[in-house]
C-alpha cells in the first residue's frame, strides 16, 4: 500500500473519508550490541573496577537540562568548572561521561508559536555553548560521530529531547528542527499524542521521524500512545526519564507490562537519577535498574542523569561526576561487566545506529510527507 501522504486525494479529504493508514515499514533488520571483552580485574575493589569499566565504556547520559539552566546565568565557564550548575567539563570527565543528550524541553504553558520560538532559541544557545567549549564538548548527531568525539577525548553532545509542541503541528517544522540537529522528540503535550493515543496525524509524525532519524521519546506518554508507537515505529524508541512504577508510583515511571513490551521492541528505558522518581539513595536507583533489567532485559536499560533539570538527586549522586558510585553499587550486586557496558554506553549506541539504519532505508522509498493535521484530524 502506498504511504499515507500519497493517499490524500482532494476528493477523499473533501468527503471526509480517508483511506486506512499504510502498514508500518517492514523490519529492516536488528542492530545488536558490540561484543564485550572484560576490562577490569574481578579481584579489584568495586570502585576501582567501576572506573576501569567506565574508562572503556563511558556513560551516555540520556537527559541533561543544562541549556535552560544556562539561560539564567550572565556568565559561566564550563571548561574550567562552573559551581552554579551540576554539569561542567571537569565533572563530566570525573564521572566518565562520554555522551550527553541536552534537553530542549520548555516550561509548562508554552505552546504554538511561542513553543517553536523558544525551542529554536534553546537550539541556538546549545550550539553556541558547544562551539565555545570545543576543548571539552563536540556536537554529534549519529552513533559514529558520538564514537569519534569520545575517541578525541571530547564529550559528545546530542540535541534533544524536545517537546512535541515545538513542531507547531507541522511536519515541515519537524524537518527543519532535524536539520538544526534535533535527534529526540517527546510525544506528549499535543492533541495528536494524548491520553487517547496517536491520531492519524500523530502516526504520520512517527513515520516522518523514522524517515529523518529522529528518535521517539515516550516518557510521560499515555499507555495507548506507547503501544501504538511501539507497533508503528520501525526505529528503536526510548523513554528518556522513566523508572519502574512497581517500585515507585510516579506517573512518568513505567508499569511492568509496558516495560516488558518496550524490551520486546528493543526499546530503551533511561532511568532518571532523581529522588522523586527513583528514591533518595544510590541503592534505590540500583533497585530500579535491577528491576528493569529483570523485566525488560539488559538491552533495555540505560541512565538519565536529569542534572540541571531542577530535580533533587539521590544521596551520593549530586552531579555528573558521581556515576562511578552507582556503577560500583551495581558491581557489588553482581552485575556482569557486559551488562554494565550495555547500561552505560552500548544500549544508547545501538538505538542511535538503529535510528540511522531505519532512516537510510526509509528515505530510499518515501518522499518527505506533505500531510497536514487539518487533512488527517479534521
Burial 137-165 (b: 16+ CB within 10 A, else e): bbbbbbbebbbebbeeebbbbbbbbbbbb
Q: How much is the pLDDT for 112?
A: 80
Any domain includes 174: yes
CA distance 11 to 90: 61
Q: Is residue 36 part of a domain?
A: no
Mean pLDDT of 182-207: 97
CA 193/CA 202 separation, integer angstroms = 6
20 domain-assigned: no
Residue 272 grid coordinates:
532518571
Confirm whether 240 is domain-assigned: yes
**4 pLDDT above the threshold of 60:** no
Whether the ω angle into residue 161 lies within 30 degrees of 0, i.e. cis, is yes
> Which CATH number fits the domain that encloses residue 263?
3.20.20.140
User: What predicted TM-score, i.e. pTM, was given to this entire model?
Assistant: 0.90
216-246 in b/e form (b: 16+ CB < 10 A) is bbbbbbbeebbbbbbebbbbbbbbbbbbbbe
Q: Answer whether residue 18 is part of any domain.
A: no
Structural domains in the chain (count): 1
Q: How far apart are CA 101 and CA 104, in angstroms?
A: 9
With respect to residue 32, please indicate whether it lies within any of the assigned structural domains: no
Q: Are the C-beta atoms of 159 and 181 separated by less than 8 Å? A: yes
- Confidence band of 279 (pLDDT split at 50, 70, 90): very high
Question: Nearest to residue 156, comparing CAs of 89, 203, 205, 219?
Answer: 89
Residue 33 lies in a domain: no
pLDDT of 282 over the 60 cut? yes
DSSP 162: E
Give pLDDT tens digits for 72-129: 898 999 999 999 999 999 999 999 999 999 999 988 777 788 999 999 999 999 999 9
157 within domain boundaries: yes
Across 43-69, average pLDDT: 95
pLDDT digits (tens, 9 = 90+) for 297-312: 999 999 999 999 999 9
Residue 285 structural domain: 52-372
Amino acid at each position: 500500500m502506498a504511504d499515507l501522504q500519497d493517499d490524500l486525494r482532494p476528493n477523499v479529504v473533501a468527503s471526509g473519508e480517508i483511506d486506512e493508514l499504510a502498514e508500518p515499514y517492514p523490519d529492516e533488520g536488528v542492530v545488536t550490541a558490540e561484543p564485550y571483552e572484560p576490562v577490569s580485574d574481578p579481584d579489584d575493589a568495586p570502585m576501582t573496577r567501576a572506573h576501569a569499566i567506565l574508562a572503556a565504556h563511558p556513560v551516555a547520559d540520556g537527559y541533561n537540562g543544562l541549556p535552560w539552566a544556562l539561560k539564567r546565568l550572565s556568565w559561566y565557564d564550563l571548561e574550567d568548572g562552573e559551581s552554579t550548575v551540576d554539569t561542567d567539563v571537569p565533572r563530566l570527565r570525573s564521572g566518565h561521561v562520554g555522551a550527553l543528550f541536552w534537553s530542549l524541553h520548555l516550561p509548562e504553558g508554552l505552546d504554538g508559536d511561542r513553543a517553536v520560538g523558544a525551542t529554536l532559541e534553546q537550539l541556538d544557545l546549545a550550539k553556541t555553548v558547544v562551539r565555545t567549549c570545543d576543548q571539552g564538548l563536540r556536537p554529534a548527531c549519529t552513533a559514529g560521530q558520538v564514537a569519534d568525539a569520545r575517541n578525541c577525548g571530547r564529550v559528545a553532545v546530542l540535541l534533544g529531547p524536545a517537546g512535541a509542541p515545538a513542531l507547531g503541528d507541522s511536519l515541515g517544522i519537524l524537518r527543519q528542527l532535524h536539520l538544526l540537529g534535533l535527534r529526540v522528540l517527546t510525544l506528549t503535550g499535543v492533541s495528536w499524542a494524548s491520553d487517547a493515543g496517536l491520531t492519524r496525524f500523530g502516526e504520520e509524525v512517527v513515520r516522518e521521524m523514522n524517515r529523518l532519524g529522529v528518535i521517539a521519546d515516550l516518557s510521560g506518554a499515555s499507555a495507548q500512545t506507547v503501544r501504538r508507537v511501539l507497533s508503528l515505529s520501525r526505529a528503536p524508541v526510548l523513554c528518556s526519564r522513566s523508572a519502574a512504577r512497581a517500585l515507585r508510583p510516579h506517573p512518568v515511571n513505567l508499569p511492568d507490562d509496558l516495560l516488558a513490551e518496550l524490551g520486546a521492541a528493543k526499546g530503551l528505558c533511561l532511568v532518571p537519577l532523581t529522588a522523586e522518581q527513583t528514591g533518595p539513595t544510590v541503592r534505590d536507583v540500583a533497585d530500579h535498574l535491577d528491576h528493569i533489567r529483570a523485566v525488560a532485559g539488559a538491552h533495555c536499560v540505560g541512565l538519565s542523569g536529569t542534572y540541571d533539570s531542577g530535580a533533587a538527586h539521590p544521596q551520593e549522586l549530586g552531579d555528573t561526576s558521581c556515576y562511578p558510585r552507582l556503577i560500583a553499587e551495581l558491581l557489588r550486586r553482581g552485575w556482569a561487566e557486559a551488562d554494565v557496558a550495555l547500561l552505560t554506553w552500548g544500549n544508547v549506541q545501538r538505538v542511535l545506529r538503529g535510528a540511522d539504519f531505519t532512516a537510510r532505508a526509509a528515505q530510499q522509498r518515501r518522499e518527505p510527507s506533505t500531510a497536514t493535521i487539518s487533512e488527517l484530524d479534521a
